[in-house]
């Protein structure tokens, strides 16, 4: 299964302080908008998202259709295909993508320890 780009989405208390901290670790802003309370930062092929006030816990994020540079992949598994695969294996989803649509969509699943995994397709 092709899940696409991987990043860790962090729930932060102070976006500016977190930005400064991760810049000290060698990360640079790759995307997002500080005015909208989120930034995507990158250090080589490692991506992290900093999100202030958007969700309660940290999240593992996969972006089908994108590589680590947010470039569109020619071949990828659509988010709805991945969702159907998980459902066929009796995996319960916290939030589902509308399987009657195409294009951007997302779903959330929890791993056995309660860690949230967001499958978020932007194309």
CATH of 5-121, one of 3.10.180.10, 3.30.470.20, 3.30.70.20, 3.30.1330.60: 3.10.180.10
pLDDT score recorded for residue 87: 97
Q: What is d(CA 99, CA 58) in angstroms, rounded to the nearest whole number?
A: 26
pLDDT score recorded for residue 14: 98
Where exactly are the structural domains of the chain?
5-121
The band of 25, judged by pLDDT with boundaries at 50, 70 and 90, is very high
pLDDT score recorded for residue 30: 95
pLDDT score recorded for residue 69: 94
Token pair belonging to 29: 């802003």
**For the chain, what is the mean pLDDT?**
96
Q: DSSP letters along 74-113, please?
A: SS---HHHHHHHHHHTTPPEEE---TT--SSEEEEEE-TT
């Amino acid at each position: 299964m092709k899940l696409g780009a991987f990043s860790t989405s962090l729930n932060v208390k102070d976006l500016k302080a977190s930005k400064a901290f991760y810049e000290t670790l060698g990360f640079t802003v790759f995307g997002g908008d500080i005015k909208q309370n989120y930034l995507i930062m990158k250090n080589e092929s490692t991506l992290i998202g900093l999100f202030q006030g958007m969700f309660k816990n940290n999240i593992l994020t996969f972006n089908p259709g994108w590589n680590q540079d947010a470039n569109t992949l020619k071949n990828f598994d659509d988010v709805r295909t991945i969702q159907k695969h998980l459902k066929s294996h009796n995996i319960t989803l916290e939030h589902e993508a509308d399987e009657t649509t195409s294009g951007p969509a997302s779903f959330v699943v929890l791993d056995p320890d309660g860690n949230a995994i967001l499958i978020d397709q932007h194309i």
